[in-house]
Chains A and B, each alone.
Chain A
Amino acid sequence: MNWLETLRRNKAMDPITAALYIVPAGIIVLIFRMIPIASAFVLSFFDVKMGRVRGFIGLAHYVRLFQDPTFFNSLGTTAYYVIGVVPASLFLSLFLAVLLNQKIKGLGFYRTIYFLPVVTSLVAISMVWKWIFHPRLGLLNFVFEKLGGNSLLWLEEPRGIFEMAAGGLGWEWWPEALSGPSLALVAVVIVAIWRGIGYNIVIFLAGLQNIPDQYYEAARIDGANTRGVFWRVTWPLLSPTTFYVMLSTTIVSFQVFTQIYLMTGPPVGGPMGTTKVIVYYLFEKGFDAGGNMGYASAVALILFGIILTLTLIQRRVVESRVYY
């Protein structure tokens, strides 16, 4: 039984052989992931200018951060963005996925078209939409005028949408705190929804196709109508997918950067700073001449804290609320 012996020895690998297989990936992950992530913590306590560490300054960055109204504005703007994107994207993609799940003809065609923007680079998409939103020559204002509406400034409009709505109703006064996200930010939100919808549709469609037909048949036999079937069968059975889509969209939305960088301004984050989101704020503080990389790292950690909290909530919720 000598060969069995060899086999067994072969299976319990020595760590050196295993290390040879892991080292190529491991070194890269160590140098370009683990060390930078750990450094982000450390750097946030240091004064760092243009890539040079100049000295330990304790919590000074955090103190300054919490006194900086621009930081809170950028958090608020990001929150507006996330709240604008996530529910609308979820609703539209679920709606379209349910339509696509009706045993229709040409499913592949529709899916291909809806998914097309996902493959297209965000840079190109942002350029095209900036042109569509052009206040004088844009396609969107042309369509609006055709439909009897007024043309809008879109990406160049700093006023909040609620303030604009109140103005449209003829109200002379509206509380500034409730003016809402600027129309410029709403324009960026529209692009994000348009871009991400195809991805969410594909995920929802996979979730819908995982629901066994027997459940639908049983519900029909029990006399449920279409709406009843949706709310009593589809919605609860789809809930893990819905939570997944909701949180992944939220996490991605918190990191919005490219669209802001290309569509807004100049200066980026405009008009009047109403589209300056947290990652752009971080980018500006880290890489602009007057910035401080330690300060940017403090911003990065707060962003990370938010995203981590959301991920943990997701874990909790998914574990406790899966319906079957």
Chain B
Amino acid sequence: MEQTSSLHDREMNAAYRVRRGLGRGGVYAGLIIGVILMIVPFWWMIATSLKSPIEILEFPPTWVPTGQFVQTDTGEWDEVYVVSRDADAGSVTVRPAAGGDQQILPEGAVQSRARLRFSNYVEAWNQAPFARYYFNTIFVTIFVVIGVLITSSLAAYAFARMRFWGRDNIFLVFLSMMMVPQPVYIVPSYIVLVKLGWIDTYQALIIPWLAHIFSIFLLRQHFKTIPNDLYDAAIIDGCSRFSFLWRIILPLSKATLVAVVIFTIVGTWNSFLWPLVMTNTPEVRPLQVGLARFSQEQGTSHELMMAAAAFSVAPLIVAYFFLQKQIIQSLATSGMKS
């Protein structure tokens, strides 16, 4: 009796393990399909950005940028462009990439090899004032980050630790402003900036973003967790209110401040609708708007467009691979507005 039961158990266990194993396999299969779908567009951006204008037009497309090469007498491989192929004669008409006359060669003399054209990046960079766009974005981002840190810490400190008339009501008004989406106020904001004479200036891109309500909210929540005793002790020791904020509260809030910095950088770097509306000239135009312009003007040079897209996203993506934990956490909180 005991034996059958243990046999039964063992069978059950085996069946369970097989099912579990299949389940595990399914889990990983699902996750890996997901990873492929997420990665392919990035791969495609980079692969395209390294192709020649001729290779772009090939269908079926190549996964890895490829060039056609012919070996010279000295054993070096020279790149050639294929002009036409004659299948019956088994010959290929090619034109040397370096310039020169067309040649007709036997099929076997021409070889496909990986060929990465980094020159596309230089060409794309030079076809539009990308250096200027880059500078503009970095300049604006630096000012916005510093400004947000200052205004948010001060306001959050007042909301968290001071008692004054109307405090909670003012805070509520701030919070309710946060719920209004940007498209709703973009038109009147434009008029405000026209009245200030700020259209097409750095002020238009920086000053309206120097206060960030969600950062105030986040810092206030954190400041509230710092015990009152600490405050009392500091005051007894002759610490002023401001130096309490500067010397004690802010150092204790590093993680929250880092989160604020991260979502401010990402938000400013990637913002599009606002600078699209508020700038007209390349002098102050930030990277995203410049990139959009470039994409609309290029039309068919897909390899240059992909190169431009790649060098525009590179800084954030590189930073992301180093600081992915902090960045994911910061962006996840910044979305949790409600």
What is the CA–CA distance of A273 and B157 in the complex, to the nearest angstrom? 50
Question: Which of A39, A110, A202, A297 touches B31 (beta carbons < 8 Å)?
Answer: A110
B153 to chain A, nearest CB (A): 9
List the A side residues contacting B89 at CB < 8 Å: none
List the B side residues contacting A83 at CB < 8 Å: none
- When the two chains form their complex, are residues B313 and A120 in contact, meaning their CB atoms are under 8 A apart? yes
- When the two chains form their complex, are residues B155 and A37 in contact, meaning their CB atoms are under 8 A apart? no
- When the two chains form their complex, are residues B191 and A48 in contact, meaning their CB atoms are under 8 A apart? yes
A279 contacts chain B at the CB level, 8 A cutoff = yes
What is the CA–CA distance of A104 and B288 in the complex, to the nearest angstrom? 37
- When the two chains form their complex, are residues B306 and A142 in contact, meaning their CB atoms are under 8 A apart? no
A220 to chain B, nearest CB (A): 12
A263-298 Cβ-contact flags toward B at 8 Å (1 or 0): 000100000000000010011001100000100110
- When the two chains form their complex, are residues B154 and A35 in contact, meaning their CB atoms are under 8 A apart? no
- When the two chains form their complex, are residues B34 and A32 in contact, meaning their CB atoms are under 8 A apart? no
Question: Which of B45, B155, B165 touches A24 (beta carbons < 8 Å)?
Answer: B155
Q: Enumerate chain B interface residues (CB-CB to A < 8 A).
A: 23-24, 27-28, 30-31, 34-35, 37-42, 44-45, 48, 56-61, 150-152, 154-155, 157-159, 162-165, 167, 170, 173-174, 177, 179-192, 194, 207-208, 210-211, 213, 216, 232, 235-236, 241, 266, 269-270, 272-273, 276-277, 288, 291-292, 295-296, 302, 305-306, 309-310, 312-313, 316-317, 320-321, 324-325, 327-328, 331-332, 335-338
A187 contacts chain B at the CB level, 8 A cutoff = no
Which DSSP category, helix, strand, loop or mixed, fits chain B's interface? helix
Question: Which of B41, B164, B288, B302 touches A18 (beta carbons < 8 Å)?
Answer: B164
In the complex, which range does the number of interface residues on chain A fall in?
Answer: 35 or more
A136 contacts chain B at the CB level, 8 A cutoff = yes
- When the two chains form their complex, are residues A255 and B183 in contact, meaning their CB atoms are under 8 A apart? yes
Q: Which 4 A-B pairs have the closest CB atoms?
A: A28-B211, A21-B158, A39-B188, A32-B208
Provide 28 A-B residue pairs closer than 8 Å at the C-beta atoms, listed in order of the A residue.
Answer: A7-B235, A12-B163, A22-B170, A28-B211, A29-B174, A34-B173, A35-B188, A35-B192, A37-B177, A39-B191, A96-B30, A99-B31, A100-B31, A111-B328, A112-B324, A114-B38, A117-B38, A117-B41, A124-B309, A127-B295, A137-B302, A261-B292, A282-B183, A287-B190, A293-B187, A293-B190, A303-B181, A311-B338
